[in-house]
């Protein structure tokens, strides 16, 4: 079957709705119930307290299409963007959840039925993994579902055992992979070639089965639960008969728009993929209340925006373009962009401000960097240059590293950190007042963000500009 990304999202939620699952809206990218988490990175985040038994939502089955960001923090896919066929900083995770209701048999059966009957995927292209000690799951796959044992592998804890933290709920996973064909390099999961892009992981089913105690013992949970996650863009690629996520409808529309705006002819240019990816994470993060700043969530956002702007610069952009993509993004995301659409003007304004600010130093920074790279001895850029680019030209280290990687060079992060530590010590000595400019724009994890109130009156946006000036005067004065 051929399906658009929007149809697929709906098919998933509809299928699990029919199986008695409550349809729940995506939660914010800023996790309000978990201060330990940088950004929402999985569908289960908003149900953490339900899984822990501390919250009862009045249903035991739920289904969502959750917006996720994996940039910074524990799961960081930022450096994969532009390099793999399957990673984004922002993606939608389709999920079905059982809170002490059904367990392994039904979870596996639902997933298999959805893929092979609803979506009619050919069974012989699907591969599965189970946790090496989980005989129960292996038995269900082989004896109840009828999967060929040659297409099942047993995997160790690193990939197939999930835990919420060092203690608490945990349990084995089973994952489903799709074989995109032998013309693509890579091997099945569990083989040395698994990191190739031939066998792509599409769905992870987590069985919350134990409660790990502080002393390491595993107590069986009285009511085991299920948490699953499937990348919408990955399954869309399969349904649309393409290999890379970046070839699906949503991304092709974005990529064409960017190419048109920048006058680029080669639609396969990696920078187009990077920009198309980054506009999604940046726009949705701002819509969820994050603004560019010099620390925490805001700094991750700033880094992503600046990386996108640098890629635009590489493609020859001569004026701000990144913010102009928001409109097209809203159009291609359909109902998933309902909240973003309400905040469109403010999101564009914040992006434009950041882009304009960075544009003032980008060309000069790039000139300095290119010169340093042309004269580089060895294959590692030194900490002093990294620091100067950061301090004078506003180049986050990962941005400089991104440029270096294009030339197969690396950066001396430790050397950079040493310069940073020195500067902090100097700044502390000089600034007895301890003014923290960024405090004004920090998004508190605990406070619920309910949208910017109005374009001009929004305190957050005023703070953004105040913050921008502060950042500039800080670096100008040093
Ligand atoms: P991978 O091994 O490919 O990096 P993962 O094991 O880190 O994926 P999970 O944490 O199991 O991913 O998340 C559940 C599902 O979400 C994955 O099976 C995949 O379909 C999707 N997914 C995970 N990370 C990304 C990403 N960066 N971009 C797009 N989809 C993703
Ligand atoms: Mg991953
Ligand atoms: Mg994986
Ligand atoms: Mg996984």
Ligand 3 centroid to Cα of residue 32, in Å, is 26
Cβ–ligand 1 distance for 94 under 6 Å, the answer no
- Express each pLDDT in 213-272 by its tens digit: 999 899 998 889 999 999 999 999 999 999 999 999 999 999 999 999 999 999 999 999
Average pLDDT on 168-186 reads 95
As for the ipTM of the complex, it is 0.99
CA–centroid distance, residue 56 to ligand 3 (Å): 30
Ligand 1 within 6 A of 202 CB?
yes
**pLDDT confidence of 430, banded at 50, 70, 90?**
confident
Q: Could you give the CA distance from residue 251 to residue 257 in angstroms, rounded to a whole number?
A: 10
Is ligand 1 within 6 A of the CB of residue 238? no
Tell me if residue 201 falls in helix, strand or coil.
Answer: strand
Determine the 3-state secondary structure of 62 from DSSP: strand
**In the predicted structure, residue 277 carries a pLDDT above the cut 70:** yes
Q: pLDDT category, 451, cuts 50, 70, 90? A: low
- The response to whether residue 230 sits with its C-beta less than 6 Å from ligand 1 reads yes
- 146-162 in b/e form (b: 16+ CB < 10 A) is ebeeebbbbbeeebbbb
Mean pLDDT for 112-136 is 97
- Span 431-451, mean pLDDT? 49
* Phi, then psi, of 163 in degrees rounded to 5: -145, 145
- pLDDT value of position 448: 58
54 or 112: which carries more pLDDT confidence? 112
Percent pLDDT > 90 in the chain is 81
Is 199 a residue whose pLDDT tops 80? yes
Average pLDDT over residues 127-147: 97
178 lines ligand 1 (CB under 6 A): no
- How close is the Cα of 116 to the center of ligand 4, in Å? 20
Q: What is the mean pLDDT of the chain?
A: 90
Residues 93-104 pLDDT 10s: 999 999 999 999
Query: 83-108 burial by CB neighbour count: b if 16+ within 10 A, else e?
Result: ebbbbbbbbbbbbbbbbbbbbbebbb
Q: Which atom of ligand 1 is nearest to the CA of 202?
A: 20
**CB of residue 204 inside a 6 A radius of ligand 1:** yes
CA of 172 to the centre of ligand 1 (A): 16
93 lines ligand 1 (CB under 6 A): yes
Q: Which residues contact residue 352 at a Cβ distance below 8 angstroms, ignoring those fewer than 6 apart?
A: 320, 323
pLDDT on residue 453: 57
273 Cβ inside 6 Å of ligand 1:
no
Cα dihedral 98→89→86→399 (10° resolution) = -150
Non-local (6+) Cβ contacts of 164 within 8 A are: 48, 51, 170
Q: How far is the CA of 111 from the centre of ligand 2 (A)?
A: 20
Of all ligands present, the nearest one to the C-alpha of 201 is 1
Predicted local confidence at residue 432, as pLDDT: 61
Give the number of the ligand closest to the Cα of residue 200.
1
Among 22-26, 370-374, 422-426, which is the least confidently predicted range? 422-426
77 lines ligand 1 (CB under 6 A): yes
Candidate of 188, 199, 229, 231 to mutate for ligand 1, largest count of ligand atoms within 8 Å of Cβ = 231
Is 184's pLDDT higher than 80?
A: yes
pLDDT digits (tens, 9 = 90+) for 317-340: 999 999 999 999 999 999 999 999
CA of 383 to the centre of ligand 1 (A): 33
Range with the poorest average pLDDT among 172-186, 324-338, 428-442: 428-442
Report the pLDDT averaged over residues 162-171.
Answer: 88
Q: Is the pLDDT of residue 137 over 90?
A: yes
Q: How far is the CA of 231 from the centre of ligand 1 (A)?
A: 6
The protein residue whose alpha carbon is closest to atom 8 in ligand 1 is 201
For 377-417, what is each residue's pLDDT tens digit?
Answer: 999 999 999 999 999 999 999 999 999 999 999 999 999 99
Confidence category of residue 470, pLDDT binned at 50, 70, 90: very low
For residue 33, pLDDT over 90 is answered with no
pLDDT in tens, 69-95: 999 888 899 999 999 999 999 999 999
Ligand 1 centre to CA of 232 (Å) is: 10
Report how far residue 391's alpha carbon sits from residue 379's, in angstroms, rounded to the nearest whole number. 23
Residue nearest to atom 5 of ligand 1 (CA): 201
Minimal-distance CA residue to ligand 1 atom 2: 201
């Amino acid at each position: 079957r051929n399906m658009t990304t929007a149809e697929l999202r709906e098919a998933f939620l509809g299928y699990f709705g029919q199986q008695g699952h409550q349809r729940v809206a995506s939660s914010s990218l800023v996790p309000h119930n978990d201060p330990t988490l940088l950004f929402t990175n999985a569908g289960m985040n908003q149900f953490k307290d339900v899984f822990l038994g501390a919250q009862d939502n009045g249903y035991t089955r739920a289904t969502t299409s959750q917006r996720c960001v994996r940039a910074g923090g524990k799961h960081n896919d930022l450096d994969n963007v532009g390099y793999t066929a399957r990673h984004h900083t922002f993606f939608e995770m389709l999920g079905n959840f059982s809170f002490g209701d059904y367990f392994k048999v039904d979870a596996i059966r639902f997933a298999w039925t959805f893929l092979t009957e609803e979506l009619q995927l050919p069974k012989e292209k699907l591969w599965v993994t189970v946790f090496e000690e989980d005989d129960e799951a292996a038995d269900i796959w082989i004896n109840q579902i009828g999967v060929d044992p040659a297409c099942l592998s047993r995997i160790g804890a690193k990939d197939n055992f999930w835990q919420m933290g060092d203690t608490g709920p945990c349990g084995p996973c089973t994952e489903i992979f799709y074989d995109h064909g032998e013309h693509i390099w890579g091997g099945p999961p569990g083989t040395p070639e698994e990191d190739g892009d031939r066998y792509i992981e599409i769905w992870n089913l987590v069985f919350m089965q134990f409660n790990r105690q502080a002393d390491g013992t595993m107590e069986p949970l009285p009511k085991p639960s299920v948490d699953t996650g499937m990348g919408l863009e990955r399954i869309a690629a399969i349904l649309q008969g393409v290999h890379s996520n970046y070839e699906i409808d949503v991304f092709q529309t974005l990529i064409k728009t960017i190419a048109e705006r920048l006058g680029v002819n080669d639609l396969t240019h990696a920078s187009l993929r990077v920009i198309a990816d980054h506009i999604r994470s940046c726009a949705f993060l701002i819509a969820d209340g994050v603004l560019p700043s010099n620390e925490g969530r805001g700094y991750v956002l700033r880094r992503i925006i600046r990386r996108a702007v640098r890629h635009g610069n590489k493609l020859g952009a001569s004026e701000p373009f990144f913010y102009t993509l928001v409109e097209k993004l809203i159009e291609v995301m359909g109902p998933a962009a309902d909240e973003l659409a309400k905040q469109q003007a403010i999101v564009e304004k914040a992006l434009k401000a950041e882009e304009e600010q960075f544009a003032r130093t980008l060309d000069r920074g790039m000139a300095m960097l290119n010169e340093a790279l042309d004269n580089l001895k060895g294959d590692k850029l030194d900490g002093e240059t990294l620091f100067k680019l950061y301090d004078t030209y506003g180049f986050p280290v990962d941005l400089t590293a991104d440029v270096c990687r294009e030339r197969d060079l690396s950066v001396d992060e430790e050397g950079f950190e040493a310069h940073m530590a020195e500067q902090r010590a100097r700044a502390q000595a000089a600034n007895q007042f301890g003014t923290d400019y960024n405090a004004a724009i920090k998004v508190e994890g605990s406070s619920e963000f309910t949208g910017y109130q109005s374009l001009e009156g929004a305190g957050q946006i005023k703070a953004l500009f105040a913050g921008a000036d502060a950042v500039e005067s800080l670096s100008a004065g040093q």
